[in-house]
């Protein structure tokens, strides 16, 4: 890796396989609203674009989020990255998300800032992301073909109206690709998450991998669909099959010819705290932080 990129990833547990043994991340759940509907999501739970479905995180205000971040940073010295990943879409809640980033870049300038998004509002937010020195952005891109997109996204909310089917998916895909190009043009590292949905986009994700690599994405993270009926998602209710571990690995291997693949993702909660795969969130709930002062 070139030195300027190594410097950005060497202490980020998601962007570097090596770093995840030594560095921790935390998420603050400040972003409740979402501007699209994914068939693998139930709004009662965290955004499933970057989180384990079926989990409910403790929603907080930007001020509470900053307080929590400072408390965790003091208690866990390996904590190098603060991410906003839900419980809805961070960029569909720009005031709350950017207020949190603004306060943190002032009060804790050593902590790297990270965000994940479905990409619909991304082109409008790129200037603001760059202004707060956000070097790591994840876009969930499940397809580049609107016909496939219509099977994943029943609707988007765009310019104050709901747009359904292929037309909605086409706009979402255009915004995601435009956002990706704008970020890489500024040297911001982009990770692409894709949810592997058997029979829907599994045959298509290798093409997604090729295209996002060509546009400068740094890393591709193919995650398995989790569609348990009790989570009440459309796919869960319709009995959509999940990929097997072998199918997931075969797809990751197939994409790896074109692209650096992330294989250590743990599908964290929107309020996760600690090393990847470890969740110390319960030690830092708001009531506990209040008693730490
Ligand atoms: Fe969080 Fe995501 Fe940033 Fe990491 S998680 S916003 S890039 S700091 Fe990491 Fe968790 Fe996988 Fe996400 S293991 S779900 S990839
Ligand atoms: Fe749910 Fe996230 Fe999709 Fe919004 S972007 S519908 S919160 S999975």
pLDDT in tens, 10-59: 889 999 888 889 999 999 999 999 999 999 998 888 888 887 777 888 89
Q: How far apart are CA 77 and CA 218, in angstroms?
A: 27
State pLDDT tens for residues 104-133. 999 999 999 999 999 999 999 999 999 998
Among protein residues, the one with the nearest Cα to ligand 1's atom 9 is: 14
> What secondary structure does DSSP assign to 231-267, as a single string?
GT-HHHHHTPPPPPHHHHHHHHHHHHTTS-B------
Mean local confidence (pLDDT), 89-101: 97
Q: Decide which of 231 and 190 is more confident.
A: 190
- CB 19 near ligand 1, within 6 Å: no
Among protein residues, the one with the nearest Cα to ligand 2's atom 3 is: 38
State pLDDT tens for residues 151-186. 999 999 999 999 999 999 999 999 999 999 999 999
Assign 258 a pLDDT band (cuts: 50, 70, 90).
Answer: low
Single pTM value for the model: 0.95
pLDDT of 194 higher than 90: yes
The pLDDT of residue 293 is: 57
pLDDT of 205 higher than 80: yes
The pLDDT of residue 19 is: 87
The pLDDT of residue 92 is: 97
- CB 36 near ligand 2, within 6 Å: yes
* Closest CA relative to residue 204, chosen from 267, 154, 141, 161: 141
The pLDDT of residue 1 is: 82
Give 156's strand partners: 36, 163
The pLDDT of residue 54 is: 76
The pLDDT of residue 220 is: 96
Mean local confidence (pLDDT), 179-194: 96
- CB 172 near ligand 2, within 6 Å: no
| Minimum-distance ligand 1 atom for the alpha carbon of 85 | 6
pLDDT of 82 higher than 90: yes
Q: What is the mean pLDDT of the chain?
A: 93
* Residue 18 burial (CB count, 10 A): 11
The pLDDT of residue 3 is: 87
pLDDT of 292 higher than 80: no
The bound ligand whose nearest atom lies closest to the alpha carbon of 44 is 2
* Closest CA relative to residue 50, chosen from 279, 291, 270, 201: 270
Among protein residues, the one with the nearest Cα to ligand 1's atom 4 is: 14
The pLDDT of residue 139 is: 98
Q: How far apart are CA 145 and CA 125, in angstroms?
A: 24
Quote the ligand 1 centre to 161 CA distance (angstroms).
31
Contacts 24+ apart (CB under 8 A), 283-292: 283/75, 284/68, 284/71, 284/72, 284/75, 285/58, 286/58, 286/60, 286/64, 286/68, 289/67, 289/68, 289/71, 292/71
State pLDDT tens for residues 136-160. 999 999 999 999 999 999 999 999 9
């Amino acid at each position: 890796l070139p030195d300027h990129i190594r410097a950005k990833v060497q202490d980020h547990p998601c962007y570097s396989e090596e770093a995840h043994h030594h560095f921790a991340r935390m998420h603050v759940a400040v972003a409740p609203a979402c501007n699209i509907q994914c068939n693998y999501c139930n709004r009662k739970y965290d955004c499933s674009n970057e989180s384990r479905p079926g989990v409910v995180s403790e929603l907080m205000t930007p001020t509470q989020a900053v307080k929590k971040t400072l408390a965790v940073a003091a208690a866990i010295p390996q904590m190098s990255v603060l991410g906003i990943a839900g419980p809805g879409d961070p960029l569909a809640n720009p005031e709350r998300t950017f207020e949190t980033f603004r306060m943190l870049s002032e009060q804790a300038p050593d902590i790297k800032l990270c965000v994940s998004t479905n990409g619909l509002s991304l082109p409008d937010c790129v200037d603001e992301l760059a202004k707060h020195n956000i070097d790591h952005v994840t876009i969930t891109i499940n397809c580049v073909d609107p016909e496939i997109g219509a099977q994943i996204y029943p609707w988007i909310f765009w310019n104050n109206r709901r747009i359904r089917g292929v037309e909605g998916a086409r706009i979402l895909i255009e915004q995601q690709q435009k956002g990706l190009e704008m970020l890489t043009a500024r040297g911001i590292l982009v990770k692409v998450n894709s949810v592997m949905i058997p029979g829907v986009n599994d045959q298509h994700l290798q093409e997604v991998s090729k295209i996002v690599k060509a546009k400068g994405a740094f890393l591709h993270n193919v995650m398995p669909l989790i569609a348990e009926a009790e989570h009440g998602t459309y796919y869960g209710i319709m009995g959509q099959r999940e990929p097997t571990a072998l199918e997931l690995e075969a797809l990751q291997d197939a994409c790896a010819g074109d692209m650096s693949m992330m294989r250590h993702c743990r599908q964290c909660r929107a309020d996760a705290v600690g090393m990847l795969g470890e969740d110390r969130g319960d030690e830092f709930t708001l009531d506990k932080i209040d008693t730490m002062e």
